[in-house]
Amino acid sequence: MDFMDIAINLAKKAYKLKEIPVGALIIKENKIISKAYNTREHSQQAINHAEIIAIKKACKKLKSWRLNECEMYVTLEPCAMCAGAILNSRIKKVHIACLDKNHGAVVSKYNILTDGTLNHKSEIIVGEHEQEASMLLKNFFKEIRNR
Amino acid sequence: MDFMDIAINLAKKAYKLKEIPVGALIIKENKIISKAYNTREHSQQAINHAEIIAIKKACKKLKSWRLNECEMYVTLEPCAMCAGAILNSRIKKVHIACLDKNHGAVVSKYNILTDGTLNHKSEIIVGEHEQEASMLLKNFFKEIRNR
């Protein structure tokens, strides 16, 4: 089981709670520092996307707002808020399973992490376990429409 | 004392703590729902910008991630993370004292809140107490350079 498999399992936990299924984890030196999934509805917190919670936990664990030695694995392309948080925390590399054509702020709608004129850039890798992550989202929204 | 005066006073609290002086507050029906200032260094949390803390507190107080009846007053143009959080929380109107040419994601570098292709738009008002807010920031960075 690789890191993106673990991120997808986190997304599945969100799915079971009827949250949009997105999971994220942060590693440092090949070890997991933090794991999270989207809990916006349960927490009724607009900011509680998987990436934000993972960053919060990682900063707490490392006692630093600078995560420049860290990498993130996330099942869906981050939105503007989450891409901005990745930028602000200086995460060096982001692995994204599938893109979000409507809200993605890393590749699809904006290029916040590779802009080059902001105060940080992250390396981006797209497509690890793409099909599994996107099927999970497709099934989730299909279920919602059928309800 | 108007709402932006109060936001500037919050920024001054950050200044005293040697944090980048930015303050934010959220109102609903002309009443203050939440107040916050930047605490990134003290909390060692990359996400702890004034706007994020104000949104978190407002969601908690209103028991809802939807702040669509709310307005934000903020002393500096929000970065990508904070503009994205404003979008995600559906805040209807944002009052910005001064612009951030290098990192601002509302007017300067991106137009996240008025893009129109994302899932929300906010009304933007720029320039209330601009000079006071920008002087505070200028003095802060001047002090840092002199240290």
What was the ipTM of the complex prediction? 0.96
Among B19, B29, B51, B69, which one carries the catalytic annotation? B51
Measured distance CA(A128)–CA(A126) in Å, rounded: 6
Q: Is B68 on the interface with A (CB under 8 A)?
A: no
Buried b / exposed e across A21-34, counting CB within 10 Å, b at 16+?
A: bbbbbbbbeeeebb
pTM above threshold 0.90 = yes
pLDDT tens for A85-99 read 999 999 999 999 999
pLDDT tens for A36-67 read 999 999 999 999 999 999 999 999 999 999 99
Average pLDDT over residues A112-116: 93
Answer whether residue B118 shows pLDDT above 90.
Answer: no
**Which of A59, A64, A81 lies at the smallest CB-CB distance from B85?**
A81
Chain B residues with CB-CB distance to A108 below 8 A: none
Name every residue whose Cβ is closer than 8 Å to that of residue B106 and which is 6 or more positions away in sequence. Answer: B77, B78, B83, B94, B96, B112, B113, B114, B124
Pairing type for strands A31-37 and B23-28 reads: unpaired
Percent of chain A past pLDDT 90, that is, above it, reads 94
Q: Which of A48, A53, A88 to mutate to test the interface with B (most CBs of B within 10 A)?
A: A88
Measured distance CA(A82)–CA(A92) in Å, rounded: 14
Single-letter residue type at A59: C
Distance set, CA B139 to CA A77, B15, B22 (Å): 38, 10, 13
Answer whether residue B87 shows pLDDT above 90.
Answer: yes
Answer whether residue A119 shows pLDDT above 90.
Answer: no
